[in-house]
Amino acid sequence: MSRESSEISRELLLALPKTDLHVHLDGSLRLSSLIELAREHGVELPSETESGMNELVFKPSYANLPEYLAGFAYTCAVMQDHESLTRIAYELAWDNINEGVRYVEVRFAPQLHMGAGMSCEDVLVAVNAGLAQARREHEGSDAVRGGEPGFRYGIIVCALRMFTPAFSAWYAQLCELLPNAPKTSLYADASLELARAAVRARDERGLPVVGFDLAGQEDGYPAHDHMAAFQYAHANFLKKTVHAGEAYGAESIFDAITALNADRIGHGYHLFSPELIGPAVEDPQAYTRALTNYIADRRLTIEVCITSNLQTNPAIGDVANHSLAQMLAARMSVTICTDNRLVSHTTVTDELALAVKNFELTHKQLRNTLIHGFKRSFFPGTYAEKRAWVRRVIDYHDAVAADFQAR
């Protein structure tokens, strides 16, 4: 570790204002709450103790992406009513506030939580209630009165490239209405309906729905199947982020940018993996260089999730092998995120500490990375309001950093 990066302490990382632009609500429950809610709702878990759940489900490492995703069956099962969704969102907000995160974009797929007769908009209302309560409480705290930036948040609605019918009443209804339609068409129809619901929730209910996302298995389920949904979001000024390059290559990222007008890319890990590019591309190396330059030049921010990538791609091995090193060398706009706080046993501070230690971030690189998160957020409000907010954050960041350097 370089001398400058060694000066960046965990205490400093905790004190600096941070963002998390890529965090899944259903992957970020408090484990104690999951166990308690499962008991209340009659959901059978592999274990009723935290140690048991960590041994059997939420492991330090996973063999592959399917094993990583297995725990979501349990988390989603306890997120089927208003009260549970509100509680989980509230606790997630405070978990972020308590480690200095001052802006978070919470994402989830409402279709997976439409239990107890709740509509998509009902799910969004419940989640927003928890986040809003935490924000109000923090606004009245001594920290904010003392000059710290307050807590802000946005909601990102996730469409799914594909999903299991057992998880979604919406999917089952579509199958009944369109029995002869191919599955890819049904997935696309579900995404379009979700985009419409997201815009209604923002425009008619006043909810801070700030973005539209596409998640799920990349290989075999291309982004362009969901063009209609993303065109609707685009036409209604709803910003777009797309999971791409998490488990597939640069072509998936290109598809997200060109077909779905993505403003940001979730993960992007395999941008620098030309071996995953298909035979239709004559020169994979040149393709990768051109795409990297395009993303860097257009300042399309990559939502980097180090621990999650290590867990779902065991072949990476050491943290230092993560493609964040290449992103930094290419001067790309990146922001450090958690993905799933419970499933990956991580926090924003943990992820930043990994980056500082393994990629020898300088104070300037750390500052740029943190500020990118605020600048490239889908902040709810006008551009003028966002600029004023970011300016306040930058001033606070610089004051905190100067105080630590003076010690």
Point out the residues that are catalytic: 246
**Which among 319, 226, 211 is positioned nearest to 266, based on CA atoms?**
211
Under 8 Å between Cβ of 283 and 247: no
Distant-in-sequence, close-in-space partners of 399: CB < 8 Å, separation ≥ 6: none
SS3 223: helix
Measured CA to CA in angstroms, residue 258 lies from 13, 96, 295 at distances of 36, 33, 11
Which two three-digit tokens encode residue 243? 């999971």
DSSP H stretches of helix in 98-237: 120-139, 142-145, 169-177, 183-205, 227-235
Q: How far apart (Å, rounded) are the C-alpha atoms in residues 308 and 345?
A: 9
Specify the residue for token string 């802006």.
Answer: 103
Under 8 Å between Cβ of 259 and 279: no
Under 8 Å between Cβ of 214 and 161: yes
Amino acid sitting at position 401 = A
Which two three-digit tokens encode residue 329? 């060398």
Measured CA to CA in angstroms, residue 332 lies from 84, 126, 298, 304 at distances of 39, 36, 9, 11
Which two three-digit tokens encode residue 297? 């030049």
Q: How far apart (Å, rounded) are the C-alpha atoms in residues 340 and 352?
A: 15
Q: How far apart (Å, rounded) are the C-alpha atoms in residues 308 and 327?
A: 17
Amino acid sitting at position 341 = R
Long-range contacts of 272-275 (CB under 8 A, 24+ apart): 272/323, 272/326, 273/249, 273/323, 274/249, 274/250, 275/249
**Which among 217, 110, 103, 125 is positioned nearest to 158, based on CA atoms?**
110
Which two three-digit tokens encode residue 166? 């057992």
